């Protein structure tokens, strides 16, 4: 937080002042005289959430390994702090130095979720930086976007000068190096820098350099680059060898509790499964694994430098890691003696075993989480989940015999081809788990009874999935299905939670939209929208009004569905998987035909063209 005569009094008057004070153990402070590029890594959510984000931790470490680059952190202040900042004219500042963000050279926003867009733009306003890219002058920082949302950045494309598509460890250093080079040789101007970045650095998308035209029906006609030397499609960046990429040896230790106070080990990137609703499983391809030796070394180093007593192994499906036994055995050689808990989230029903059960402990919960996703076998085949009720019964039996009596199951409603019996099937699946508990001999049941929580999200057809062309259920239909499921649950041991259908409606618009949405997003920010991802600040009626006044028909992006031959807003991006593959998978979905995992058979998705070490595809 910027130094200010009023700051002590302000910090005493706001909630959680530890969000703003800085000075944490392992935070990086550099001599400004040695720095040629100052990079502000901005996370458009609270300190507690941003501090737990693995991508922030990795990129903070990567950039600060460069001696003449200083990467500092910036988080969104809570509304009580915003009120004070506006009252005393205090600009948004970095955590490390307390300098105003507007004085930095580059500002990178990590866009993890569509409903963080308004928070990111509000952070720009709090910094005194023009919200629209076209309004910035030579003295303003270069504003960069990255993260999973940029696989369709079109709704916010006109707010960012440069977009990093794909993995950022190499490209952000290349962008910073180009900035330094052009500043030193005197060739720098905003346009010259952006042009050279777009033409020479793979994975860089400069939206201002592409004209978008539309058909009479409102669909996109074409994207046309305004320069001959920039790509017609932006190919995502990947890290080829995860064993060689930099990984933090130290973590910034917060003064206040964060969402995930633990060591997080990224085991591999990508997914072998091919669930047809899952964007991450498609855009993070090809599959690349880290070796057990690399992971064990990183875990021991982080433990010694942080003192955390929990290690979480993360990936899209941790039980699909080809060397999981070697990794867990290597970790357990020292974690048991050090009283360090080993957590394996993202477990699949069809690959859970008694051996894994013995290795999994948790200091936080006495339960396990699985994701059947659909309530009937027919619909699980449609979405290519490739798990059966027998897999569920076997896995739940192992969990109960291992002492776990709390089970959480994730599902979706509104999936393509879904019928009412599929919704009722979610309740039936939860009841099956309860029945499995009582089917065990009393001596094998965990004490305390059994509880099952089912969490149901609303399906949103996401870019770069076989379902990207599908219709989204109307708000009324989603709410009807939520009511149907609630009425179908008759066992008090089953707890039902669900995602707000109104939130899902807006998320669908922002996830599948084009540049015409920018006016509405800017208007929402001007009228006070911030922290839309938080229930207490999400205002659906405001969004309905803003969209209507901006001339946006929300049905056009949601319940209309998209034609297979139309140009999609995200067609400017090459995410690796081909449209031909996605269309084949869509056809198989309507036939309820499954596709085997990449470990069993290469299905020709196209990701192999991106290269990378340890890929399953050939």
The end-to-end CA distance of the chain, in Å, is: 51
DSSP string covering 302-313 = HHHHH--SEEEE
Does some domain include residue 421?
Answer: no
Q: Is the per-residue pLDDT at 1 higher than 90? A: no
Q: In angstroms, how far is CA 268 from the centroid of its own chain?
A: 15
Token code pair at residue 546: 């803003």
Identify the CA nearest to 383 among candidates 460, 274, 270: 274
Rounded mean pLDDT of 323-335? 92
pLDDT of residue 259: 87
Rounded mean pLDDT of 224-252? 96
Rounded mean pLDDT of 453-461? 97
Q: Which residue has the higher pLDDT, 565 or 357?
A: 565
Question: Element (H or E) spanning 164, and its range?
Answer: strand 162-164
Does some domain include residue 102?
Answer: yes
Q: Which residues pair with 106 in a beta bridge?
A: 39, 142
Range of the structural domain that residue 229 is part of = 7-235
Q: Is the per-residue pLDDT at 369 higher than 60? A: yes
Q: Is the per-residue pLDDT at 366 higher than 80? A: no
Distance CA 47, CA 533 (A): 14
pLDDT of residue 121: 98
Split at pLDDT 50, 70, 90, the class of 360 is low
Backbone φ and ψ of 114, nearest 5°: -55, -35
**For 107-152, what is each residue's pLDDT tens digit?**
999 999 999 999 999 999 999 999 999 999 999 999 999 999 999 9
**For 22-74, what is each residue's pLDDT tens digit?**
999 999 999 999 999 999 999 999 999 999 999 999 999 999 999 999 999 99
| For the chain, percent of residues with pLDDT exceeding 70 | 95
Token code pair at residue 353: 């075993």
pLDDT of residue 365: 45
Q: Strand, helix or coil at 455?
A: strand
Q: Strand, helix or coil at 264?
A: strand
Q: Are 585 and 468 in contact (CB under 8 A)?
A: no
Does some domain include residue 189?
Answer: yes
Does some domain include residue 407?
Answer: no
| C-alpha triplet 187, 191, 193: angle, nearest 5° | 50
* Rg of the chain in Å (alpha carbons): 24
**For 164-218, what is each residue's pLDDT tens digit?**
999 999 999 999 999 999 999 999 999 999 999 999 999 999 999 999 999 999 9
pLDDT of residue 108: 98
pTM for this prediction? 0.95
Rounded mean pLDDT of 285-303? 95
Q: Strand, helix or coil at 370?
A: strand
Q: Are 252 and 361 in contact (CB under 8 A)?
A: no
- 489 to 31, 426, 435, 458, 526: CA distances (angstroms): 61, 9, 14, 18, 43
Q: Strand, helix or coil at 160?
A: coil
Q: Are 402 and 357 in contact (CB under 8 A)?
A: yes
Number of domains in the chain: 1
Split at pLDDT 50, 70, 90, the class of 5 is low
Q: Are 189 and 201 in contact (CB under 8 A)?
A: no
Does some domain include residue 210?
Answer: yes
**For 80-107, what is each residue's pLDDT tens digit?**
999 999 999 999 999 999 999 999 999 9
pLDDT of residue 356: 66
Does some domain include residue 516?
Answer: no
Does some domain include residue 364?
Answer: no
Does some domain include residue 198?
Answer: yes
Distance CA 148, CA 283 (A): 8
**Cα maximum dimension of the chain:** 78
- 228 to 10, 162, 208, 224, 569: CA distances (angstroms): 52, 18, 14, 10, 21
What is the domain-level CATH number for residue 148?
3.40.50.280
**Measured torsion, CA atoms of residues 77, 78, 83, 89, in degrees rounded to the nearest 10:** -10
Distance CA 517, CA 535 (A): 22
**For 384-410, what is each residue's pLDDT tens digit?**
999 999 999 998 998 888 888 899 999
Split at pLDDT 50, 70, 90, the class of 358 is low
Identify the CA nearest to 297 among candidates 345, 262, 248, 259: 248
Q: Strand, helix or coil at 591?
A: coil
Q: Strand, helix or coil at 446?
A: coil
Distance CA 455, CA 482 (A): 11
Split at pLDDT 50, 70, 90, the class of 341 is confident
Q: Is the per-residue pLDDT at 364 higher than 50? A: no
Backbone φ and ψ of 456, nearest 5°: -120, 120
Chain position carrying tokens 């230790």? 253
């Amino acid at each position: 937080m910027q130094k200010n005569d009023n700051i002590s009094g302000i910090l005493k008057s706001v909630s959680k002042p530890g969000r703003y004070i800085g000075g944490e153990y392992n935070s990086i402070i550099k001599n400004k005289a040695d720095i040629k590029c100052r990079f502000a890594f901005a996370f458009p959510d609270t300190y507690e959430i941003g501090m737990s984000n693995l991508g922030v931790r990795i990129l903070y470490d990567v950039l600060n390994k460069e001696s003449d680059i200083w990467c500092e952190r910036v988080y969104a202040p809570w509304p009580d702090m915003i009120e004070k900042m506006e009252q005393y004219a205090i600009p948004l500042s970095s955590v490390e130095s307390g300098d105003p963000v507007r004085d930095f050279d580059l500002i990178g926003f990590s866009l993890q979720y569509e409903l963080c867009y308004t928070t990111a733009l509000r952070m720009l306003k709090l910094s005194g930086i023009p919200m629209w890219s076209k309004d910035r002058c030579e003295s303003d920082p270069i504003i960069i976007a990255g993260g999973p949302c940029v696989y369709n950045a079109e709704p916010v494309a006109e707010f960012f000068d440069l977009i990093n598509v794909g993995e950022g460890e190499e490209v952000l250093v290349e962008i910073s190096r180009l900035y330094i080079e052009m500043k030193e040789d005197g060739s720098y101007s905003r346009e010259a820098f952006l042009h050279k970045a777009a033409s020479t650095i793979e994975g860089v998308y400069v939206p201002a350099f592409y004209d978008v035209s539309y058909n009479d029906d409102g669909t996109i006609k074409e994207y046309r680059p305004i320069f001959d030397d920039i790509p017609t499609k932006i190919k995502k960046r990947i890290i080829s060898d995860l064993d060689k990429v930099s990984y933090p040896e130290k973590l910034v230790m917060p003064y206040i509790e964060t969402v995930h106070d633990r060591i997080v080990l990224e085991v591999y990137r990508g997914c072998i499964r091919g669930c047809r609703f899952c964007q991450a499983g498609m855009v993070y391809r090809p599959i690349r694994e880290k070796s057990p030796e690399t992971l064990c070394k990183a875990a021991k180093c982080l433990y010694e430098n942080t003192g955390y007593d929990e290690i979480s192994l993360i990936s899209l499906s941790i039980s699909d890691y080809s060397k999981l036994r070697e990794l867990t055995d290597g970790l357990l050689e020292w974690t048991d003696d050090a009283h360090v808990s080993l957590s394996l989230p993202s477990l699949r029903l069809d690959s859970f075993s008694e051996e894994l059960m013995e290795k999994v402990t948790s200091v936080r919960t006495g339960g396990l989480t699985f994701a059947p996703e659909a309530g009937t076998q027919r619909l699980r085949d449609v979405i290519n989940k490739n798990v059966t009720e027998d897999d569920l019964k076997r896995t739940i039996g192992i969990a109960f015999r291992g002492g776990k009596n709390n089970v959480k199951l994730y599902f979706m409603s509104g999936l393509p081809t879904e019928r009412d019996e599929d919704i009722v099937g979610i309740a039936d699946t939860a009841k099956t788990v309860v029945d499995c508990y009582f089917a065990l001999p009393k001596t094998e049941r965990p004490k305390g009874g059994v509880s099952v929580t089912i969490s149901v999200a609303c399906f949103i057809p996401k870019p770069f999935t076989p379902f990207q062309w599908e219709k989204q259920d109307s708000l009324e239909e989603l709410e009807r299905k939520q009511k149907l499921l609630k009425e179908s649950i008759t066992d008090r041991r089953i707890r039902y939670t669900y995602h707000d259908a109104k939130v899902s409606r807006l998320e669908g618009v922002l996830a599948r939209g084009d540049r015409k949405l920018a006016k509405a997003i800017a208007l929402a920010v001007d009228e006070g929208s911030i922290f839309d991802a938080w229930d207490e600040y999400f205002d659906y009626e405001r969004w309905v009004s803003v969209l209507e006044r901006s001339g946006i028909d929300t049905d056009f992006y949601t319940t209309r569905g998209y034609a297979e031959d139309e140009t999609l807003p995200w067609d400017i991006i090459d995410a690796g998987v081909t449209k031909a593959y996605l269309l084949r998978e869509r056809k198989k979905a309507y036939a309820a035909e499954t596709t085997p995992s990449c470990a069993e058979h290469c299905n020709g998705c196209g990701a192999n063209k991106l290269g990378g070490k340890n890929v399953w595809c050939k």
